[in-house]
Structures are given as structure tokens and as C-alpha cells.
């Protein structure tokens, strides 16, 4: 018997959760349930995180959380409970299988069977944003080696466990050489440990186009957070419907399982919603807690129900579907078919599934880190970069000189183009005149001189080399 935490959520949440629990309990799931309240009611009661402190204790004790969709109230101040849960519990892997159910659910891609594995904690979703000048705001994109190693290893281990043949990685490392470059590099390193699994990398733009056009060419796809967020919805939609997909959020200690769709408030309370997305989440949960036989029984009965044309309104099509049913009737139809297998759709076998056990991240020996210069970001409302260069030359030190100015990454001094549009946000690079290292004291001296000269410095970034390799971007056009 495994104790799990359940939240019925908002909108259609309670109906689809009741249907899901009824099905898995009828199949013999050995679970005990602690129910907690999350979402709209909690938000509106004045708790901006949408969850009470005591509920965290229950989630952390049980470690396995089945969550129905919730409504995040409109307006500022309310934090997304999903994002908070993923981060607090370290749920670094988001796993979304997207499989077409041709010819029973309409899809342009009859042979699609893709699993999207999205990094869930870092990238632009670290949520570190600042406004620094009148005209410019920034969001920090953080990619870490441990974060990348964990998610990429998870993708290969997943492929190995489920007998999948290929893992594809998407990044934009032709532009983001440091951040996406690290993700790609780690992918190449880890791929070598799995010679039996094919691996490939695509630049995310053309890769996405190919995924949307010929998804059957993909198997497991591993992506940094933002690309994964976008593409997992695209993949679910083109497989048939976002209403059919579930997702698992996996961490080293805890895991959360859910449908990928929202709380569909307009459909609430009418016995209309399709419980399949949440049921798919619950099936992944059963595999995770080692009740594979139950998971397999439920999945095969669900496939048989779909195959028998018993469909909720969202997937109902005249000529293909046989019977339009509500949430409850759909659940009953799945229960009637427990023990049966689909005849046309591929029956599943979850004998080998289990929660993946990954080795702990091992920190590498630190590299030799050298300070080669500093980028001082300046808020300046002028328009001529040559004029700014003259001002900045006043703060140069004997050894540390202004070497470049960029505006939104494009080099505008020396030898910029008059045509280049400039904002009020300037990156001013200072380096040793002979290419030697500089000191932190040099940076402090530069900043102190800037202050005396009324230069509005908004931030600095140190320019490092790690083991002799320059680890910062050049100016575009440099
Ligand atoms: P939604 O997914 O709730 O609905 C999008 C469309 O899909 C609607 O037309 C809806 O009727 C339909 N739909 C969704 N699930 C369905 C189901 N199971 N059966 C039949 N039809 C279904 O997205 P939305 O309208 O953008 O968001 C509504 C609310 O859900 C918002 O408050 C949003 O913040 C929240 N939301 C929550 C989660 C979550 O808790 N994981 C995820 C996404 C959105």
C-alpha cells in the first residue's frame, strides 16, 4: 500500500480526478489517499502561493503527488503553483509521452509516438528579471552543468528502460554558445555512455519544424526548459489533443503527476470533460511506485475504450466515434474493459518500467579561472557611440583600457555602423591592453572613476577564462 497526496484542483479538476481514481482503484491500485486543497480557493483566501504550509508537509511526507489542474486567478501577485512545486521539490524532469491514436482519434500524424523530456528548473524560468534603463529589461538565462547532466541522463535512461531507439536534443547553440552550448556539450558527453541508443542534435528552429511536420522521425526528445515548454504542447496537440496527454514531473525525492491541460472552467460541473490526460498522469504514477501490472491493465483498458469509439465530446467525430459519453460514463467504460487489450492499437507492456534511479551528480574538479576583463553596463541616453567612448576613456586605468562597446550585443565601437539602432543600454568592455589578467581591485577602481564622472553604471559582468578557454561572448560583428 502506497500513500499518495491528491489535489482535486479547480474547474473540471474534481470530475476528472474522481473518474481517474475510480478507474485505478477498480483496477486494484494499492494506494491510500491524503487529499489536500490547492488552487483558486486557497489563492482567493489570501495565500498567494495557492497552497497552505501544512499541505507541503503532506506532499513531502508522501513524496508522490497526483494533481488535477488548477485555476490561477487573473491579476498580479499570484504565483504559479506548478512552477513553485517543481522548484521547491526539485522536480527537474518533465516527461510527456505524445502518442497518436490513429484511426480512432483524428490526427495528421498516424504514426507519432514521441516522448518529450523537458528540463524543468532552470533556463529563462529561473525568473531572474530586471529593468536597468528606461528602455531595456533583461531576463537571465541560467543553464548549469548539474541541471543539464541530470536531465540528459534521465532522457537516456528513460530511452533504455522503455526500449526506445533514439534521443534527440534541440538547442540554439549557434547563437547562445555558452548556455545552449553547455547543454549540447553535455548531451554529446552523456550520449557516449549509451552507445546502443542513437543520438542526434538539431538546432531548435529547424528541429521544431521537422517535429511538427514529421514527428514519426523522432523518439525521445530532450530540451532545455523554454523550448520544452513550447514543444511539449505542440507535440501533444499534433498527436491528437492536449486533452489526452499526461505528464510526470520527477525529482530525486518527490514526483508529481498531472494532465497537461488546464482547468477548462467553461466545461466545469457538466460531466463533459475528458479524464484521459489525468488518467495518463496516474498511469505514469503507478509505474513510478512500482505497480506496473495495474498501470498496464489500466492503459490497455483505456486504449480499448478509445478503440471501441467511446469518446468524450472533445475527441468525438461522426463516422469514427461510436458513442458520445460524459466523464463518468467514460470512466465506467474503461472499468468495464479492465483485463482487455486493444486489438488495433498497440497494447502496452510495462513489465520493465520503474522509477528511474540515477546516479548522484558528481562535481568536477574546479577549472583554472582567470579574470580577463569586465563588461560594465551603462545607462546612457546619447546616440553617438564615439561620444560615449570618449567619456569612458576618462576612467581607463594604466593597464585596463576600453576595448569595445556593444548595444543589444552588436558592436557599435570601434568602427560601428551608423545604421545600427541603439537603445540607452550599453555594454562597455574593459580589458588589459596586453591581454593579461586584471584584478577585482581594477574593477572597483573603474567603477569608482565612473561614479566620479557621473557615468550611470547599472551592472558588471566579469570576463573569465576557464582552463584557458575564453568563457564569454564576443560582440556581434567583432
Ligand atoms: P485549458 O487547458 O483549461 O483549456 C483549453 C481548451 O481545451 C478549452 O477549450 C477546454 O475546454 C479544452 N479542454 C481542456 N481540457 C479538457 C478536457 N480534459 N476535456 C475536454 N476539453 C478540455 O486552458 P486555458 O483555458 O488556457 O486555462 C484555463 C485555466 O487553467 C487557467 O486558469 C490556467 O491558469 C489553468 N491552467 C492550469 C494548468 C495546471 O494546473 N496544470 C495548466 C494549464 C492551464
- Report DSSP letters for 235-250, one per residue: HHHHHT-GGG-EEEEE
CB 192: neighbour CB atoms within 10 A? 8
pLDDT-based confidence at residue 355 (cuts at 50, 70, 90): confident
DSSP code of residue 211: H
pLDDT-based confidence at residue 353 (cuts at 50, 70, 90): low
What is the distance in A from the centroid of ligand 1 to the CA of 38?
16
d(CA 135, CA 154): 41
What is the distance in A from the centroid of ligand 1 to the CA of 280?
16
Match domain 369-470 to its CATH number in 2.40.40.20, 3.40.50.970, 3.30.70.1570, 2.40.110.10.
3.30.70.1570
Asked whether the beta carbons of 44 and 15 are under 8 A apart, the reply is no
Question: Lowest-pLDDT range, 2-6, 360-364, 406-410?
Answer: 360-364
* The pLDDT value given to residue 359: 87
The protein residue whose alpha carbon is closest to atom 20 in ligand 1 is: 273
Asked whether the beta carbons of 261 and 243 are under 8 A apart, the reply is yes
For residue 111, give the nearest of 34, 216, 223 by alpha carbon: 216
Torsion 136-137-139-140 (CA) sign: positive
The strand order across the sheet containing 166-171 reads 31-36, 2-7, 64-67, 255-259, 246-250, 93-99, 113-119, 220-223, 166-171, 198-203
The protein residue whose alpha carbon is closest to atom 16 in ligand 1 is: 243
Fold of 108-239: Isopropylmalate Dehydrogenase (3.40.718)
User: Strands 220-223 and 166-171: what pairing?
Assistant: parallel
* The pLDDT value given to residue 463: 98
* The pLDDT value given to residue 48: 85
Closest ligand 1 atom to 265 CA:
28
**Cell numbers describing residue 145:** 552543468
pLDDT at 117 exceeding the cut of 90: yes
Residues of CATH 3.40.718.10 domain(s) within the chain? 1-90+240-348, 108-239
pLDDT at 478 exceeding the cut of 80: no
Q: Find all residues with CB under 8 Å of 316, minimum gap 6, and list them.
A: 324
CB 458: neighbour CB atoms within 10 A? 17
Mean of per-residue pLDDT scores for the chain: 94
**Cell numbers describing residue 98:** 505524445
What is the distance in A from the centroid of ligand 1 to the CA of 15?
14
Closest ligand 1 atom to 9 CA:
40
d(CA 20, CA 8): 11
CB 186: neighbour CB atoms within 10 A? 22
pLDDT at 354 exceeding the cut of 90: no
For the Cβ of 68 lying below 6 angstroms from any atom of ligand 1, the answer is no
For the Cβ of 260 lying below 6 angstroms from any atom of ligand 1, the answer is no
Best residue for ligand 1 mutational test, from 13, 94, 263 (most atoms within 8 Å of Cβ)? 263
* The pLDDT value given to residue 365: 95
**Cell numbers describing residue 67:** 494533481
pLDDT at 72 exceeding the cut of 70: yes
pLDDT at 350 exceeding the cut of 90: no
What DSSP string runs through 46-115?
Answer: T-TTSB-HHHHHHHHHH-EEEE---PPPSSTTPPPHHHHHHHHTT--EEEEEEE--TTTS--S-TT-EEE
Q: Which residue has the higher pLDDT, 478 or 386?
A: 386
Size (the chain), residues = 478
Match domain 1-90+240-348 to its CATH number in 3.40.225.10, 3.30.70.980, 3.40.718.10, 3.40.50.1000.
3.40.718.10
For residue 39, give the nearest of 352, 307, 239, 258 by alpha carbon: 258
Amino acid at each position: 500500500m502506497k500513500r499518495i497526496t491528491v489535489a482535486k484542483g479547480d474547474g473540471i479538476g474534481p470530475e476528472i480526478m474522481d473518474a481517474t481514481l475510480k478507474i485505478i482503484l477498480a483496477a486494484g491500485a494499492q494506494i491510500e489517499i491524503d487529499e489536500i486543497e490547492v488552487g483558486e480557493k486557497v489563492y482567493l483566501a489570501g495565500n498567494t502561493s495557492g497552497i497552505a504550509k501544512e499541505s507541503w508537509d503532506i506532499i513531502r511526507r508522501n513524496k508522490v503527488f497526483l494533481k488535477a489542474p488548477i485555476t490561477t486567478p487573473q491579476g498580479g501577485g499570484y504565483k504559479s503553483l506548478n512552477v513553485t512545486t517543481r522548484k521547491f521539490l526539485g522536480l527537474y524532469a518533465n516527461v510527456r509521452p505524445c502518442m497518436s491514436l490513429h484511426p480512432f482519434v483524428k490526427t495528421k500524424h498516424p504514426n507519432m509516438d514521441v516522448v518529450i523530456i523537458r528540463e524543468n528548473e532552470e533556463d529563462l524560468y529561473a525568473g531572474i528579471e530586471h529593468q536597468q534603463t528606461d528602455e531595456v529589461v533583461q531576463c537571465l538565462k541560467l543553464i548549469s552543468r548539474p541541471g543539464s547532466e541530470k536531465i540528459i541522463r534521465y532522457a537516456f535512461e528513460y530511452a533504455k528502460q522503455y526500449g526506445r531507439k533514439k534521443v534527440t536534443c534541440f538547442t540554439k547553440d549557434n547563437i547562445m554558445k555558452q548556455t545552449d552550448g553547455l547543454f549540447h556539450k553535455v548531451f554529446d558527453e552523456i550520449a557516449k555512455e549509451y552507445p546502443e541508443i542513437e543520438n542526434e542534435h538539431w538546432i531548435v528552429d529547424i528541429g521544431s519544424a521537422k517535429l511538427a511536420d514529421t514527428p514519426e522521425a523522432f523518439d525521445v526528445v530532450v530540451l532545455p526548459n523554454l523550448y520544452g515548454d513550447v514543444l511539449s504542447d505542440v507535440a501533444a496537440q499534433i498527436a491528437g489533443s492536449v486533452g489526452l496527454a499526461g505528464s510526470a514531473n520527477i525529482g530525486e525525492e518527490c514526483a508529481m503527476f498531472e494532465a497537461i491541460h488546464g482547468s477548462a472552467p467553461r466545461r466545469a460541473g457538466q460531466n463533459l470533460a475528458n479524464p484521459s490526460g489525468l488518467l495518463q498522469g496516474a498511469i505514469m504514477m503507478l509505474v513510478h511506485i512500482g505497480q506496473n501490472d495495474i498501470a498496464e491493465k489500466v492503459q490497455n483498458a483505456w486504449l480499448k475504450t478509445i478503440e471501441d469509439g467511446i469518446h468524450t465530446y472533445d475527441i468525438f467525430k461522426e463516422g469514427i466515434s461510436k458513442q458520445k459519453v460524459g466523464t463518468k460514463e467514460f470512466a465506467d467504460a474503461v472499468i468495464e474493459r479492465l483485463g482487455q487489450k486493444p486489438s488495433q492499437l498497440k497494447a502496452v507492456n510495462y513489465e520493465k518500467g520503474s522509477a528511474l534511479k540515477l546516479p548522484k551528480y558528481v562535481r568536477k574538479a574546479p577549472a583554472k579561472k582567470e579574470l580577463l576583463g569586465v563588461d560594465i553596463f551603462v545607462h546612457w541616453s546619447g546616440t553617438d557611440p564615439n561620444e560615449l567612448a570618449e567619456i569612458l576613456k576618462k576612467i581607463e586605468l594604466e593597464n585596463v583600457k576600453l576595448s569595445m562597446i556593444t548595444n543589444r550585443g552588436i558592436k557599435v565601437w570601434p568602427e560601428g555602423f551608423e545604421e545600427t539602432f541603439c537603445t540607452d543600454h550599453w555594454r562597455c568592455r574593459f580589458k588589459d591592453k596586453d591581454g593579461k589578467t586584471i584584478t577585482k581591485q581594477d574593477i572597483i577602481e573603474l567603477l569608482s572613476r565612473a561614479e566620479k564622472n557621473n557615468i550611470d553604471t547599472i551592472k558588471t559582468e566579469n570576463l573569465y577564462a576557464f582552463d584557458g578557454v575564453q568563457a564569454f561572448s564576443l560582440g556581434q560583428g567583432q
